[in-house]
Amino acid sequence: MSTSGEFGPVQVAAQAGRDTLIANAALPGGRVGDAIVRFTAGDRTNHWIVALAFICTALSGLALFHPSLFWLSNIFGGGPWTRVLHPFFGLTMVIGFAFLVFRFYGYNRMTAADWRALPHLGEVEAGRYNAGQKLLFLLWMTCLAVLLVTGFLFWRPYFAGYFPIPLIRVAALLHSFFAFVLISFVIGHVYFALSVRGSIWAMTRGTVTLGWAWRNHRAWFREVTRAARTRSGTD
């Protein structure tokens, strides 16, 4: 099937993988039309596993962080169960995010152009991910690396006994600080996902409208449509 627009006629696949133009896709508002596959079913499943693990890790960690938040431990069956489960929630989150790194790191590497674009977000044509999204991805990688290492240092009863108390105290401080940073930025991530219309649809249904791609990631839109034109032999 072919469609036409600013870039001329392009070939639209009936079914396709990531970053491909497809026809007769479900669109927000009950509409059907041409769309771009932004996330595959595997991508979305991986994302929501990480999101759920993050929520469980954050809530259980906050319950252990301060007595005023200990009531959160009721979600997990009380204090002892919260202490037992928290590290395993964290490991699940790290492992899940490792798969996202494997699949998306190439898209999220900061370039010289990205650093120049940072003061002008919204004014430059963004690729698949803009500079702010790439920095968030880098922040996730950094925070999870620190949280993983420091968490092992005071994980009782398995590893804490192998390390001196002063090191465990420093690890606990760093663990709390980077957890706070990560939680803060995830709240911002959720805010922007909700405020940019069509973003949640992309992470639940996998596709975005051509208009969404044009407004938010114009350089990516051009790449996808150019590839579709190449496949159709119109270049």
Return the amino acid letter for 194: L
Per-residue tokens: 41: 């079913």
How many of the other CB atoms lie within 10 Å of CB of 78?
Answer: 12
C-alpha distance from residue 163 to each of 65, 153, 160, 172, 179 (Å): 21, 7, 6, 12, 21
C-alpha distance from residue 43 to each of 97, 101, 110, 191, 218 (Å): 11, 11, 21, 21, 22
Instruction: Using DSSP bridges, classify how beta strands 207-209 and 21-27 pair: parallel, antiparallel or unpaired.
Output: unpaired
The yes-or-no answer on residue 189 being catalytic is yes
Identify the active-site residue in 47, 66, 120, 189: 189
- Catalytic positions, please? 189
